[in-house]
Chains A and B, each alone.
Chain A
Amino acid sequence: GENVEQHPSTLSVQEGDSAVIKCTYSDSASNYFPWYKQELGKRPQLIIDIRSNVGEKKDQRIAVTLNKTAKHFSLHITETQPEDSAVYFCAASRTDSWGKLQFGAGTQVVVTP
């Protein structure tokens, strides 16, 4: 089955700096890669996703890149703000598994003013 590894497990950045979280996956048939942000006690919230036919996607301060050959994808947050502090999960899924998500272990991001 699919295995997703996520690094780092914790990330501390100064406000205004960039944050990068990296994930690798094992199943070459995976074709959908969402990123979720989860604040303490709240639901995971989809912040950005990328499909396997695209190499990069950007939404304001957030961008995701995908390298299918190397089977890795990354989340980039620029100009970080204190409200970006949360746990971020990457995930992978394939169409023929009804969207079952295999999550990475999560990254605790702390943005200090």
Chain B
Amino acid sequence: DAMVIQNPRYQVTQFGKPVTLSCSQTLNHNVMYWYQQKSSQAPKLLFHYYDKDFNNEADTPDNFQSRRPNTSFCFLDIRSPGLGDAAMYLCATSRRFRGSYEQYFGPGTRLTVT
């Protein structure tokens, strides 16, 4: 089945220790997104890729970076995680269809910072 996969599903890291989250997709969508979702809040867009073009949201901290080596994979790097970075990180993909983009979310990675 075509899908969006995120690994790991749960990640525990220490304060200040770099961590990488991964996302892969078999939908062949050209747009990929990374969201941060904290408890009881809506998902907050960090950045997105249109093909290989990277677009950073203005309020995304410099501590967050991303890589998209090919259509199928996208990575989120948190260089120096702080306690405030503990959250669910959601990857999503989409493509243009009938003038709009339907987004499909992966299952998320729950990040804990100790």
Q: Quick check: B101 and A43 within 8 Å, CB to CB?
A: no
Shortest Cβ distance from residue B56 to the other chain A in the assembled complex, whole angstroms: 12
Given the known interface contacts A44-B90, A44-B105, the answer about A99 and B100 at a Cβ–Cβ threshold of 8 Å is yes
Binds A, one of B11-19, B40-48, B62-70, B73-81: B40-48
B residues 96-112 in Cβ contact with A at 8 Å: 96, 98-108, 110
Interface size for A (C-beta < 8 A) is 22
A82 to B41, CA, bound (A): 22
Cβ-neighbour of B105 out of A31, A32, A45, A104 (below 8 A): A45
* Dominant secondary structure of chain A at its interface with chain B: loop
Q: Quick check: B48 and A100 within 8 Å, CB to CB?
A: yes
Given the known interface contacts A51-B98, A103-B43, A105-B42, the answer about A34 and B103 at a Cβ–Cβ threshold of 8 Å is yes
Q: Quick check: A34 and B42 within 8 Å, CB to CB?
A: no
Residue among A31, A41, A43, A45 with the most chain B CB within 10 A?
A43
Residue among A46, A98, A103 with the most chain B CB within 10 A?
A98
B residues 28-47 in Cβ contact with A at 8 Å: 31, 33, 40-43, 45
A93 to B106, CA, bound (A): 19
Q: Quick check: B103 and A99 within 8 Å, CB to CB?
A: yes
Cβ-neighbour of A31 out of B99, B104, B110 (below 8 A): B99
Given the known interface contacts A43-B106, A51-B99, A93-B101, the answer about A99 and B94 at a Cβ–Cβ threshold of 8 Å is yes
The answer to whether A95 has its CB under 8 Å from any CB of chain B is yes
| Cβ contacts under 8 Å, A95 to chain B | 96, 99-101
| Cβ contacts under 8 Å, A100 to chain B | 33, 45, 48
The answer to whether A101 has its CB under 8 Å from any CB of chain B is yes
- When C-beta atoms are compared, the residue in chain A nearest to B106 turns out to be A43
A42 to B99, CA, bound (A): 28
Sample of 13 more A-B contacts, CB < 8 Å, known A43-B90, A100-B33, A101-B43: A32-B99, A34-B102, A34-B103, A42-B107, A43-B105, A49-B100, A89-B43, A95-B96, A103-B42, A103-B43, A105-B41, A106-B40, A106-B42
